[in-house]
């Protein structure tokens, strides 16, 4: 009966889910004042670029009232010319803000990614020889290189796009309630379905990324062992 108390060797080890990094951890690789300035300016440009679309919707809605008048009425061409200039100004502002969004956030993402890799390498140099006997450094280097590209892409145009879309959504909902609150309430009924589909896509992408990182780590380890 003593054999029954002995743990079986076939038992699978329990794995605990690793906690996700918080927003503070993501931006913890700050490399200086230039990075902070680029982040602030990039976020500001993203918000302003997102508010352009509600402004276009407002001008476009008001243009129907102006263009609905008779073409022979006095000042009709002046109203058309005024609307054309307004749309041209909004287009120029959208171009400027989106360019600033991409430029500032990509610059900050590049600096943060470089700081991330430098911090990892410095931490690697502080380890003793036992660490290199236990850990597969070649696989870890592959994971850092792969995740570094994702980290840069996430803090670059993906962060800008997320902030821009959020600003557009808030501005659009605010204008919709101001224009017609009945239709806005009807549109809000579709938000749970949109949120559910977005959550499903995020969950699928996370699992796919985890499997891809494991494959890249194994491949990088094999290549490093073969070459060396």
Question: Running along the chain, 228 residues long, what does each successive block of 10 average in pLDDT?
Answer: 44 55 75 86 93 88 69 70 88 93 91 86 82 72 78 86 90 85 78 81 70 63 60
In this predicted structure, what is the pLDDT of residue 3?
45
The label of the residue with tokens 């969950």 reads: 203
In this predicted structure, what is the pLDDT of residue 215?
66
In this predicted structure, what is the pLDDT of residue 209?
63
Contact yes or no for 97/48 (Cβ under 8 A): yes
In this predicted structure, what is the pLDDT of residue 68?
64
Q: Is 6 helix (H, G, I), strand (E, B) or coil?
A: coil
In this predicted structure, what is the pLDDT of residue 198?
78
In this predicted structure, what is the pLDDT of residue 219?
64
> d(Cα 176, Cα 172) in Å, to the nearest integer?
6
Contacts of 30 (CB under 8 A, 6+ apart): 36, 112, 115
In this predicted structure, what is the pLDDT of residue 121?
83
In this predicted structure, what is the pLDDT of residue 2?
42
Question: Does pTM surpass 0.85?
Answer: no
Helices (H), 18-158: 23-26, 33-67, 76-125, 129-134, 137-153
């Amino acid at each position: 009966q003593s054999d029954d108390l002995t743990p079986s060797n076939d038992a699978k080890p329990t794995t605990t889910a690793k906690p996700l990094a918080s927003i503070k951890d993501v931006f913890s690789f700050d490399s200086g004042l230039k990075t902070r300035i680029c982040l602030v300016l990039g976020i500001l440009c993203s918000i302003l670029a997102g508010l352009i679309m509600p402004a276009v919707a407002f001008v476009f809605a008001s243009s129907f009232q102006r263009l609905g008048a008779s073409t022979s009425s006095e000042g009709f061409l002046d109203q058309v010319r005024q609307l054309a200039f307004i749309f041209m100004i909004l287009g120029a502002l959208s171009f400027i803000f989106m360019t600033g969004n991409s430029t500032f956030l990509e610059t900050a993402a590049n600096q943060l990614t470089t700081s991330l890799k430098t911090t990892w390498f410095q931490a690697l140099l502080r380890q003793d020889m036992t660490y290199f006997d236990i850990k597969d450094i070649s696989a870890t280097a592959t994971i850092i290189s792969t995740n570094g590209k994702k980290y840069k892409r996430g803090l670059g145009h993906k962060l800008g796009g997320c902030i821009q879309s959020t600003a557009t959504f808030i501005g659009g909902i605010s204008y919709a309630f101001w224009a017609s609150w009945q239709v806005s309430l009807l549109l809000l009924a579709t938000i749970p379905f949109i949120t559910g589909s977005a959550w499903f896509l995020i969950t699928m992408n996370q699992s796919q990324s985890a499997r891809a990182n494991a494959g890249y780590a194994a491949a990088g380890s094999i290549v490093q062992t073969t070459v060396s």
